Structure 1
Amino acid sequence: MEKKKTLYADLSLLLVAIIWGSGFVVTKNALDHVTPYYLLFFRFIAATIILSIVFFKKIKEASKQDIKAGIIIGLFLFAAFATQTVGLQYTEAGKQAFITATNVVMVPFIYWIISKKRPDKFDLAAAFLCLVGIGILSLNDDLTMGYGDILTLLCAVMFALHISSTGYFAKELDPYVITIVQFLVASILSLIFALLFEGTNIELGSNTIFPILYLAIFSTMTAFLIQTVAQKYTSSTHAAIILSLEAVFGSTFSIIFLKEPLTIRFFIGCVAILMSVITSETKWEFLKAKEIIE
């Protein structure tokens, strides 16, 4: 039974990676018909409403600490998605998928600042590989980065801060309440920025309803819940390896559906970043486990 649960959990996490990877393509297409901040607002408010209905009892029992933590995490979540969504207007979806994935390499260094625990040799090697990969993917001939790539790199930093703050607060508090509050915070901030920078003239047609519902129900609500449950039944090493495939799926879907070019430079940069993510997240412990079994 334990092996079956682990297998089902791993397959569930693979589904999460596919959903998140497809989200880059869906968002890219949606941005042709709706502005970035309104897209974020509708995405997060829909997820907030659905989760609030499902976990209404937990919201009634929420503590001040739960709400405070959700607000702090929500600020980082909004900043991450805002820079990612706006940045996607100025760069390719496949490239962004891999640059966004570098957030897992940044987490140990942010944790170093918080806990004074120095990153190990795997984290340092991952950081080097990550920098090489970003350079290959993003640097122009004059060694400058495009606006979209800069925003995406900032997005990765914000996601790293989001992951670190979530890990800090979630140990003692209700994860479901924190999730709902952070989604609500992100939706409120998205609406404020939309009104300030994008005006009030917005039309929701068939070209925008589907992407919004897909991003809200699948990429936001369903994926986060599946990940939370699945990681109870599988190792963090398995989870890290499988979820890092998000970047691979994002790039693959972008090439297939958006007709983005697959160049040698793009391929080498993606491989370097993927290797850095796996190195940082797993420390290659799955190879040691294999040696012991043999």
Structure 2
Amino acid sequence: MKPHKAELLLLLVTMFWGSSYLFMKMGLNTLGEFNLIALRFGLAFIAAGVIFYKRLRNVNAGTLKYGAVLGFLLLAVFTCITYGLKTTTTSNAGFLVALTVIFVPMIEVLVFRKRSQLQQLFGSLLAITGIGLTLNSSLHMQPGDLLCILAALFYAVHILVTGKAVKSCDTLNLGMVQLGFTGGFAWILSAVWETPALPSSVPGWIAILALGILCSACGFILQPIAQKYTSPTRTGLIFSLEPVFAAFFGYWFAGEQLSVQGYAGAALVLLGILASELLGKANIKKEHFSCPHDYEA
């Protein structure tokens, strides 16, 4: 798969995840936090397993190991988000979780000692500035805000671990296995701390089906498949569009509207992605033409 096709798939995944805040709010009206996560990822694993059961039978120990780690990280991400949504707004949650775009290159530089490319840092800076402008009001730090920042940190680690795992694992099996572990971990916590139950209303069922099939089954299976053909930093940058899609779905389905400042922020996010793309290609061409000795006999 070519990088631009992989990044289009990641864009589709981001669109699904942008709608998830609306569906999570709907689901939390009748379900507990761990119960919601368990139903979401359990349904996703069952749906994917039914379709790809022949492939799933060939899962090896390495995929199970990485799947368990990724499943734990996803559980941490969505536990922080679902509890965070109790004491913060959807706009704040979308902005703060999108800090993943900053945490990915930061972890790569500080932990893995990897040198980050200038165009990626520039694109990330534009994108995170744009995300800030899409807020409808100023940020007021609440406990939920801190949880969403922690979710962004876990998300960044998830992206980096996925980037390592796809080098040695079957990407489709990896995507399915992590869903199963996330759902299983959440069911255990729900049984201990809550009373597991099915949705008791039509909006609750709509939320679970959308979260399970679109946001989880499609999203977390397509992510490792596509991420194999692009970099973790570029993945995090594309994921920065999540709050923009959240605003789009809010406009169409909840009657919410962005201010002029909000539309300016959305434009900056897009500009950040384009800057990373175009400057990256320009840098590759510059390096290519600055080394003529490579073609000498």
**TM-score interval, normalised by the smaller of the two chains:** 0.7 to 0.9
- Aligned partner letter, 2:184: I
- Aligned partner letter, 2:47: I
Q: CA RMSD in A?
A: 3.9
Q: Which residue of 1 aligns with 2:219?
A: 223
Change (3 A) 1:183 1:24: same
- Aligned partner letter, 1:180: M
Shift of 1:60: 2.4
Shift of 1:162: 0.3
Change (3 A) 1:223 1:192: same
Q: Alignment identity in percent? A: 30
Change (3 A) 1:199 1:183: same
Corresponding position: 1:58 with 2:55: yes
The runs of 5 or more residues in structure 1 that have no matched partner are none
Q: Aligned equivalents of 1:282 and 1:48: distance in 2?
A: 34
Q: Which residue of 2 aligns with 1:17?
A: 14
Q: Aligned equivalents of 1:57 and 1:271: distance in 2?
A: 44
Equivalent position SS for 1:33: coil
Q: Which residue of 2 aligns with 1:81?
A: 78
The runs of 5 or more residues in structure 2 that have no matched partner are 287-297
Corresponding position: 1:195 with 2:191: yes
The question of whether the paired residues in 2 share the 8 Å contact of 1:77 and 1:186 is answered with yes
Q: Aligned equivalents of 2:93 and 2:220: distance in 1?
A: 20
The question of whether the paired residues in 2 share the 8 Å contact of 1:98 and 1:273 is answered with no
Corresponding position: 1:174 with 2:200: no
Shift of 1:246: 2.9
Shift of 1:74: 1.2
Shift of 1:45: 0.5
The question of whether the paired residues in 2 share the 8 Å contact of 1:132 and 1:269 is answered with yes
Change (3 A) 1:66 1:241: closer
Q: Which residue of 2 aligns with 1:252?
A: 248
The question of whether the paired residues in 2 share the 8 Å contact of 1:71 and 1:185 is answered with yes
Equivalent position SS for 1:115: coil
Q: Aligned equivalents of 2:240 and 2:181: distance in 1?
A: 27
The question of whether the paired residues in 2 share the 8 Å contact of 1:244 and 1:278 is answered with no
Q: Which residue of 2 aligns with 1:161?
A: 157
Structure 1, residues 48-87: CA drift from partner, whole Å, max 9, x if none? Answer: 1122222323332222111111111111111111111221
Corresponding position: 1:285 with 2:264: no
Q: Aligned equivalents of 1:196 and 1:66: distance in 2?
A: 28
Q: Aligned equivalents of 1:166 and 1:10: distance in 2?
A: 15
Change (3 A) 1:133 1:164: same
The question of whether the paired residues in 1 share the 8 Å contact of 2:100 and 2:240 is answered with no
Shift of 1:128: 5.6
Structure 1, residues 222-277: CA drift from partner, whole Å, max 9, x if none? Answer: 23444566678x97799777654332111222244334564566666666666666
| Normalised TM-score (structure 1) | 0.77
Change (3 A) 1:175 1:41: same
Structure 1, residues 79-113: CA drift from partner, whole Å, max 9, x if none? Answer: 11111122123223233223222213211222234
What is the total number of aligned residue pairs between the two structures?
285
